[in-house]
Structure formats: structure tokens, C-alpha cells
Amino acid sequence: MPYLKENVPSAYDIQLEVKMKPNNSDSFKTITRSNLKYMYWSLKQQLAHHTVNGCNMRPGDLCGTGTISGSPEGSRGSLLEITWNGQEEINFESGIRRKFIEDGDVIVLTGYCQGEGYLVGFGECTGKILPALQ
């Protein structure tokens, strides 16, 4: 679509990290490190596509980018990719293994920009997986 064409690249160099702590474990393990610059669609393109048919954005609205996978080893963006569709396991210190997130697991997402002499972090986003309501 013409409204999605960009004349200059507009990727942001934001380091991203995901840690996981399985239920009944005391420690987190980093399961992936990626970078926002690996996004296929830029943030400008995503916003344009979101709003082109009249879906307005308002102050305070949040948008998710979806999975961000890079080509370097260790930068797959989802557990489905990290475990090769559940064929491989992630091993944790406590002997716990995971192919997918389970009830009680805790996930922590972090991101930061870094340049010569500075680092700007965006804080942590932490979530615990709760059982589905019956």
C-alpha cells in the first residue's frame, strides 16, 4: 500500500530482553534477547495501518508490536520459535523444563537504549500467568 512506503529507514535501536521464572522456582532465566530494529514493519507503518480505516488513537492508548525476532542466535521472539514449535525444551537451574508458558510462571520484559555515555531504560513489565477461570 502506498501509505506504508517509507523513504528512509525509521528503526529504533532498543535492546529487549525476556526473563522467565517457572512456577515453584526461585530464579529467573533470560530466554531471549532481541532488538526493536529487527521489526519487519516500522512503528510509523504500524500506526498508519492501524488508523487508515478510521480507528483513531487517543492519548494513553497502547499498541503492541507483536513478536520481534532477530537473526542472531538467542534472539527468537516467542516461545514457539525458541522451542522450535515445542520440539526443544528450555532447561532451568532447578531442573524444571519448559516448552511453553504454564500457569504460575512469571515473565519479565525489559528494554533500553544505549549510546556513548548514556543508557535509558524503560523499566520492567512483569506478568504472572494465572489459570483460566472455569
Domains in the chain: boundaries: 2-128
Read off the pTM: 0.82
CATH number 3.40.50.720 is the correct assignment for the domain at 2-128: no
Give the C-alpha separation, 85 to 82, whole Å.
8
DSSP 3-state of 82: helix
* Mean pLDDT, residues 62-79 taken together: 86
pLDDT of amino acid 63: 83
* Confidence band of 112 (pLDDT split at 50, 70, 90): very high
Give yes or no for residue 31 having a pLDDT over 90: yes
d(CA 94, CA 113): 32
First to last CA, the chain: 44
Alpha-carbon Rg for the chain, nearest whole angstrom, is 17
Q: Are 16 and 74 in contact (CB under 8 A)?
A: no
Give me the pLDDT at residue 126, please: 96
Number of H helices, E strands in the chain: 2, 6
